[in-house]
Copies of this chain bind each other. A is one copy, B any other.
């Protein structure tokens, strides 16, 4: 049967101060009145019922995520005792589904993306599930690139591998890591490259057998995990490596399905520039904002009025107990703020 595995680990430090250790970015409401992860779940409910949606998360974030997802059974939350990157996490998810349903086909979805065209997404997802069902291929989704982004990995397609429900499926020629700008420009121009959306579909049994083949040690340890106690004991000892590195780059039989469904990765505050409405002075704002001679800013005022005077290209974020004011092109350095707070043991702001 169809299953969905929502990947909701990771603290999302890049969205500080809105995101915190116990309030990861997946539970932020960035695009609507619903948390991102709730949108992710609602988007697939025509494909799988709630009792076949698994959620991978971490201990500190569990409470906020559970609260954001009413109706998902408690036993469907897989709580990693520590983060071990995507290969162990997706392996654990596949194993969990496989033990409940040996025919499980699992669509693995990040919980922090925006997808504007829900209907198109569901169509592509169904095609992905159909393609993966037989249990002989890895299925990935490729986003037709809109610009030469250097922050994403890319997938180069090979030969056509047929169509399902009118949607083309391609072989994957290769995965490439984040390119430099010139290379990204070439990729976009070529028409053969896609952004790697980090979405996968597998027959669970197939993924497990591939893990056994390429990562026998990870496979062996995952197999031993039978309950929460095992999880707490064994999981931390597993190598923290990504599924791309562990399996996808080695596997021969990988497919990519082009998905032009209005996908946006919410990687940092800058992303909101393309998501929120802009005022006439090109400020992307949410909440009550008054601007005087200010342009190109990104402002999230929470419940507060934010007034900007004579400033440009800033990110201003207000929360109940902390405020960030950053140059837009330096906003990734918010990590350094978190480092300082950690050193100062200011736990309440982490």
Contacts and interface: CB of A to CB of B under 8 A. Distances in A.
A291 to B, nearest CB: 9
Given A304-B322, A309-B336, A323-B301, A330 B17 contact: no
A119 to B, nearest CB: 39
A247 interface: no
A321 B292 CA distance: 19
A64 interface: no
Interface residues of A, number: 36
A308 to B, nearest CB: 5
A290 interface: yes
Contacts of A69: none
A325 B309 CA distance: 6
Q: Which of A322, A325, A331, A340 has the most CB of B within 10 A?
A: A325
Interface in A269-327: 290, 292-293, 301, 303-311, 314, 316, 318, 321-327
Interface in A15-62: 16-17
B307 A322 contact: yes
A251 interface: no
A234 interface: no
Given A307-B334, A309-B326, 13 more contacts: A290-B341, A292-B336, A303-B321, A304-B321, A304-B322, A305-B323, A306-B322, A307-B323, A307-B325, A309-B327, A309-B337, A311-B327, A323-B323
User: Which of A336, A340, A346 has the largest count of B CB atoms less than 10 A from its CB?
Assistant: A336
Contacts of A16: 307
Pick from A290, A303, A316, A333 the residue with the most CB of B within 10 Å: A290
Nearest to A334: B309
A interface, by DSSP: helix, strand, loop or mixed?
A: mixed
A245 interface: no
A212 to B, nearest CB: 45
A349 interface: yes
A136 B125 CA distance: 94
A16 B292 CA distance: 14
B323 A311 contact: no
A341 B307 CA distance: 10
A308 B290 contact: no
Given A290-B340, A340-B290, A323 B310 contact: no
Contacts of A301: 323
Contacts of A325: 306-309, 311, 314, 316, 325
